[in-house]
Amino acid sequence: MHITYIVRTSTAPFLYCLPTAPTGILWPAVSFRIVLDHQTLRFAAAHFTTSAGECEPLHGHNYALTVEIEGGLTADSWVLDFSEAKSLVRDICGELHHRFLLPLENPALKIAASGAEFEVSFGDRRYVIPRSDVAELPVDNSTAERLAEYIAGRIVDSLRKRGASNVTSIAVGVEEAPGQSGWFRTALP
């Protein structure tokens, strides 16, 4: 037996069918969520961040991601196929793996691009990095929070291209070290 509900969200009402539980309890769910754990979603990259007129030394992390995708169920009763979601996020990790994370919109950095390299300067420090070793990021700093925002945007773009209109929100956590993560969460229109 299925019960049909009209659920109101901030954007528009939609029909939602809920099966009754075996005990006869009706679940008052509005959305469902899948979580992709950081154990399989990793990349290693170099970066430095700027803050309060300072620039930290060049260093690297073995980053780990946690991704939460929330939405209504498809006709096949899932938010998104796990293998499809993992493949999508792994592709993004692959683009960042073994790269220097360059925040192109950082006002504290002087960035000059030539055909084969980037020259990045902060004060008296100067780095020349082969272009093939750089992940060009449209962010103002390569903090865990901004990386999470960037990755979430890439995931949203991929989901839209795949027609995943049931997804209502996404959250991405970027772990720099055990117990140290930056998160970004957004609702989708």
CA dihedral 130, 133, 139, 140 (to 10 degrees): -50
Please give the pLDDT value at position 83: 93
Query: Radius of gyration over alpha carbons of the chain, in Å?
Result: 20
d(CA 19, CA 22): 9
Is the distance from CB of 68 to CB of 103 less than 8 angstroms? no
Domain annotation for the chain: domains and CATH numbers = 1-29 (no CATH), 31-187 (3.30.479.10)
| Dihedral sign, Cα of residue 9, residue 10, residue 13, residue 15 | negative
Model pLDDT, residue 5: 39
Q: What's the pLDDT score for residue 39?
A: 82
**CA distances to 18, 95, 131 from 77, in Å:** 11, 31, 44
Q: Please report the pLDDT score of residue 33 as a whole number.
A: 96
pTM, 2 dp: 0.84
Q: What is the pLDDT of residue 189?
A: 81
Strand 42-47 vs strand 50-51: parallel, antiparallel, or unpaired? unpaired
Instruction: Give the pLDDT confidence score for residue 182 in this predicted structure.
Output: 98
Q: Show pLDDT as tens, one digit a residue, over the chain (189 residues).
A: 344 334 434 444 444 444 544 556 665 656 899 999 878 899 999 999 999 999 999 999 999 999 999 999 999 999 999 999 999 999 999 999 999 999 999 999 999 999 999 999 999 999 999 999 999 999 999 999 999 999 999 999 999 999 999 999 999 999 999 999 999 999 998
Residues 64, 151: contact at Cβ < 8 Å? no
